[in-house]
Structure 1
Amino acid sequence: MAVRRLAPAELQPKDFAFTAENMAWAKKQIAKYPEGRQASAVIPLLWRAQEQAGGWVPEAAIRHVADILGLAPIRVLEIATFYTMFNLAPVGRYHVQLCGTTPCMLRGAKELKKICHKRIGEQFEVTKDGTFSWVEVECLGACVNAPMAQINYDFYEDLTPENFSRLLDDLAAGKNPPSGPQIDRQFSAPVGGPTTLTDPALRGTQHQGGAALTDAKAKKPGAAANVREAAVPAAPVGDASDKRRK
């Protein structure tokens, strides 16, 4: 792993403080942990600080989080520099995290890197208009739809040089291109549609349209994951664990 350092002094803001809303949120996170264990909230607080600062963690934000949690600033600095999800320098409005791990590399990530170099510049460099920055990252967990990239909070999959360039064009123009697969693929099903378990009787649910999935429409980019929390589904009725308990 390369050494990760804070941005130079000329890029650092003089101060940082959570907004009233974010401070109230931070206190709720801290309250989730036992007395004396408030340090456990350091990662969510750093994450919220990064969001408030526009996608990166200034030194002043590190000190602010340390003050809130009663920690020495070096303890928070150690965490911010260890986890690569924390950006230590300013990023563009659209921060492209391009996966370069083996499946994506085999499926064409090298060509996508060339586009990033040509259109954006070197890694961690921000375009002059502040629109884009990019970095190559390790696996983001969408290997079946390789190659892929995460842009801000959304995944864009099944990328080709053509649709990736078009995606960057749309973002630069202020459009909201659908996230997910960028070809005619439904979620992570095989290209052309599902090939197994297509009989609705096998799943006990009504299924229309042959092999088409029930929710195949691509989603528009959404908000941060922490505001998209869904209710936990109820446990299935009459499963094996129920029988064991009886």
Structure 2
Amino acid sequence: MASASSTNFRGLTSKPSSRRSHISSQLFDQQLQRLCPSPHYHPKIEDPIREIVDVLLSIFLQEQLKCTSNKKLKTILTMSIENYRVETNKKKAFSLFLAAAKKGYLIAQEMVGDCYFFGIGTHENEDLAFLWYNKCAEQGSGYGYHGLGICYEYGKGTELCLSLAIEYYRMSAIRGNVWGMIQLARRYQAGIGTPKNIDKAIYWYQKALEIGCEKAKTELDNLMKLSVTLHQKHDSERHLQPTIIEQLLP
């Protein structure tokens, strides 16, 4: 780590701090990337300045005396955030996210919403999931709007309302959240909660693919072929219509 400052993977410059002086710059960036997975943010679209790793490390280091070594400390932190593989780590991850969320860190608030929604490290609680997603949306979070869309579509923690679900997916998508784009594209593709519109579905799948969501490629390819077929059929019907009318004339 440079003596004056270092640049993380987002291109943000940060001064070294005593809270992370014990880990390398490379490990710090790895931890930050794990805390900002693509379902929440994509660096090409959303680039919030958050020191969430600093907060989590600060909270964790307060418990350092309970751990046998720094290595164990880092291992628990990494596994808790990355994969939630062990139940103990799930609970530890949730407690860290909740503590950071209460300090006002947006990405932690999003994760707390997910933890309550899916029951990760805590009991499932649809009402609290909705509450935290709403807190995030109020701050302009695309992922928060996506969470609200899911809640309204399936009646989780609130009333079931497809029209509101579609509106929140749209608000998520226009804020650059890739999962909001995918959800909106799927609803246009299937005509769920909104009139079926293949062209709009293609548009949002393309947007998702542009920011790196490979999951959109297969659907996009299929829809492009379908769109060409539909347009050809429409053009053919328009071309044949005068001929049919002429045949009916005396």
TM range (shorter): under 0.3
TM-score for both structures, normalised by structure 2: 0.25
Structure (1 or 2) with the greater strand fraction: 1
Higher RCO (C-alpha under 8 Å, 6+ residues apart): 1
Larger radius of gyration: 2
- TM-score, normalising length: structure 1: 0.25
